[in-house]
Structure 1
Amino acid sequence: MNILITGANGFIGKNLVAELSSSRPDYTLLRYDMETDPALLDDFCREANFVFHLAGVNRPKEQSEFMEGNFGFTSKLLDCLKKYNNSCPIMLASSIQAELDNPYGASKKAGEDLLFDYGRENGADVLIYRFPNVFGKWCRPNYNSAVATFCNNIANDLPIKVNDPSVMMTLVYIDDVVNELISALEGNPNREGEFCKVAVEHRITLGEIVDHIYSFRESRNSLQLPNLSDPLVKKLYSTYLSYLPVDGFSYPLKMNVDNRGSFTEFLKTPDRGQVSINISKPGITKGQHWHHTKNEKFLVVSGRGVIRFRKIGEEKVYEYFVSGDKLEVVDIPVGYTHNIENLGDEDMVTVMWVNEVFDAERPDTYFLPV
């Protein structure tokens, strides 16, 4: 198939092109944008089997540019398709603003009406999406997306301005938008009446968005991962990370070092415990304790050693020999005192997961040699 994509270098266009190029290599993408030679539009309209009309104007210098960009170019595109009697399906990226009485909304509504008329006259399948606020990677900050602006500014330690934190926002995530557009391309659009829409929408206040994004920044200090079981939080967090400055991808961890080696907390979660990295020097034994409810998983990724267990009240000791040459997870059950000894000549590195974040008030850790 030949897929014409207008606005191919815009936010939605760039994400759509990236996905189609990766997952549908047999499609030919005819990319048209402001920098494209206008003469190519004629060729593209002759060859297209499907049109994604994503081009538009939303922040012009003059209000007259709204109608010129959102209505005028749509008219030009449709005239070009008519010239070659090309009645292939055409999708239009409109906006919920089309329902409002403002210059931008009026221009979007005019483009919608034009496309509906075109579909009736030419028998073309018309797919009009009134998108709410779209967010995700590659969205231009300080332009027309509050999420992009907040993510960019907070990630780069820049100030933000929130006039009314109680304003309710309707959001759609770019991956959900792209998935819907590909479904439309393959003949399965999500229709609601005469319009189409992205099935997955999220409702959240402006203030809640800001709180989440500030918590993402603080997570580097607290080590607390966001609640990624919440679909919106998961999408916001991914979006936030895409705005990190290129010299700010990494951050240091606090290493608790002594003559035995080191212990470093890596990640913490509110409901799935925490992950830490333990380094033991040659000949060193660590542990020698047991837990009532706290349980752990040990994974030696470098070096070699032994993990020993003894059930409370019994004398028999059980040994599990571990090595970075053969990755094997060892569960640390409750009610067993345990230790881990480095049997090698080099440092032994162990990834340790525990089912709860350490609480100094209730450590649930009792010293007892194995």
Structure 2
Amino acid sequence: MTRVAITGGFGFLGWHLACRLRAKHGIEPLRVGRDDYADPARLARSLADVDVVLHVAGVNRAHTDAEVEQGNVSLARTLVGALPADRPVDLVYANSVQAELDNAYGRGKAGAADLLADAVHARGGRFQDLLLPNIFGEHGRPHHNSFVATFVHEVACGGTPSVTNDREIPLLHAQEAAALLIAAMGDDGRTVVSGEPHSISEVAELLERTHRLYATRGEVPPLTSSFELNLFNTYRAATFPQLWPMGSQVHADQRGRLFETVRSHGGTGMAYASTTLPGQKRGEHYHLHKMERFVVVAGDAEIEVRRLLHDEVVTFRLSGDRPEFVDMPTLWVHNIRNVGDTELVTVFWSDQLLGPNDPDQYPELVAGEDLP
């Protein structure tokens, strides 16, 4: 199996990249972080046996322009010094489309590309320079990764994004960027990636509409394009777990109780139910894109959710006595267990039909152990 290392492996794009390698390719990459970079000898030992390096680490914020420019060059220089000198190693560089512009960030990214290309080729390896547009996605840092991350944070906290200098910006979801980086392994050359153009005001309006529908009534907004779904999942990540569980409005009379589980404004989807015997558990998987809602209608349940490649487990207790639901965030492993003495009845809804060829469902235990 190909041995892959990711620099910046604990950052925003590095995490998405590691998640996709695990889900789609069964590869557990070596994730290189700040501690490794702080000790060049340690970094060299870490990279001694790898076949491919996905260089995602970068500097896009600093006190001065000079620090931004030299920061990216310095990262590349440290990486070059740590690469094995006696054998070829392929390298894919997560460059930026700004490398073609004359600004501090662009000059730094371009300079880093030149250093990396020369070093990799001198060792007989292949170097792919992938120029990426603005990237957004789940768990981006506000005021750091992108304006989308900042807007998502503000809206999730009940605020209103401020739009200045409105213009179209090419956007690419982090999982799409990860797919391109993985596909580029073994290539040699330079590729400029075009994002999907969306205006700043459009993103703000979509997020505000999403918040009005979703945070107040639990309604799923229109998901008529992959961009809308990816933006929705990015927003949902910012509201998890503090928004949950959310209650359903119950209408009761002599016949019993009536309550909605899902109201959707667009897209395809499916709702379904299950019964689970006391002590039994369902789930133990995660999704890259699929939205999934768990609604407990009878019995007592415990839902466990763990962010992929992290250790902390978030636990919810739900009861059919007070109809509640939890939406599973993308890239979080989840399960549901019957913790009561009676049969557990759960209704599920997903935004997409279960397709046997690409179910977007990857097995893993919340507890972090290997599946049998």
CA contact (8 A) 2:20 2:179 kept: no
Secondary structure, in 3 states, of the residue corresponding to 1:39? helix
For residue 223 of structure 2, what is the aligned residue in structure 1? Answer: 228
Q: Give, as a single letter, the amino acid of the residue that structure 1 aligns with 2:51.
A: N
Q: Give, as a single letter, the amino acid of the residue that structure 2 aligns with 1:231.
A: S
Q: Deviations over 1:157-182 (max 9, x none)?
A: 134221133x1011111111122222
Q: Give, as a single letter, the amino acid of the residue that structure 2 aligns with 1:109.
A: A
Secondary structure, in 3 states, of the residue corresponding to 1:182? helix
Q: How does 1:290-369 map to 2 (within 5 A)?
A: none
For residue 44 of structure 1, what is the aligned residue in structure 2? Answer: 46
Q: Deviations over 1:184-214 (max 9, x none)?
A: 23x4x5x8xx423557x32111111111111
Secondary structure, in 3 states, of the residue corresponding to 1:35? helix
Shift of 1:153: 1.4
CA contact (8 A) 1:5 1:52 kept: yes
For residue 233 of structure 2, what is the aligned residue in structure 1? Answer: 238
For residue 126 of structure 1, what is the aligned residue in structure 2? Answer: 127
Secondary structure, in 3 states, of the residue corresponding to 2:259? strand
1:184 aligns with 2:179: no
Distance of 1:22 and 1:161 partners within structure 2: 37
Distance 1:217 1:102, change over 3 A: same
Q: How does 1:1-370 map to 2 (within 5 A)?
A: 1-25=2-26, 27=28, 29-36=29-36, 37-81=39-83, 84-165=85-166, 167-185=167-185, 187=186, 194-197=189-192, 201-220=195-214, 221=216, 224-270=219-265
Distance of 1:247 and 1:114 partners within structure 2: 44
Q: Among the aligned pairs, what percent are the same residue?
A: 28
Q: Unpaired segments of 5 or more residues in structure 2?
A: 273-296, 299-344, 350-372
Distance of 1:181 and 1:16 partners within structure 2: 8
CA contact (8 A) 2:40 2:78 kept: no
Secondary structure, in 3 states, of the residue corresponding to 1:47? coil
Shift of 1:62: 2.9
Secondary structure, in 3 states, of the residue corresponding to 2:243? coil
Secondary structure, in 3 states, of the residue corresponding to 2:6? strand
Structure number with bigger Rg = 1
CA contact (8 A) 2:44 2:82 kept: yes
Distance of 2:51 and 2:243 partners within structure 1: 43
CA contact (8 A) 1:6 1:54 kept: yes
Distance of 1:161 and 1:62 partners within structure 2: 25
Q: Give, as a single letter, the amino acid of the residue that structure 1 aligns with 2:114.
A: D
CA contact (8 A) 1:12 1:174 kept: yes
Q: Deviations over 1:247-282 (max 9, x none)?
A: 2123233222233323323333345799999xxxxx
Q: Deviations over 1:65-108 (max 9, x none)?
A: 22332112212222332x62332111111111111111111111
Shift of 1:41: 1.3
Distance 1:18 1:224, change over 3 A: closer
Secondary structure, in 3 states, of the residue corresponding to 2:251? strand
Structure with more relative contact order (C-alpha pairs < 8 Å, separation 6 or more): 2
Distance of 2:10 and 2:212 partners within structure 1: 33
- The runs of 4+ residues in structure 1 deviating greater than 6 Å are 272-277
Distance 1:183 1:58, change over 3 A: same
Q: Deviations over 1:277-335 (max 9, x none)?
A: 9xxxxxxxxxxxxxxxxxxxxxxx87xxxxxxxxxxxxxxxxxxxxxxxxxxxxxxxxx
Distance of 1:272 and 1:107 partners within structure 2: 42
Secondary structure, in 3 states, of the residue corresponding to 2:224? coil
Q: Give, as a single letter, the amino acid of the residue that structure 1 aligns with 2:61.
A: R
CA contact (8 A) 1:52 1:91 kept: yes
**TM-score, normalising length from structure 2?**
0.66
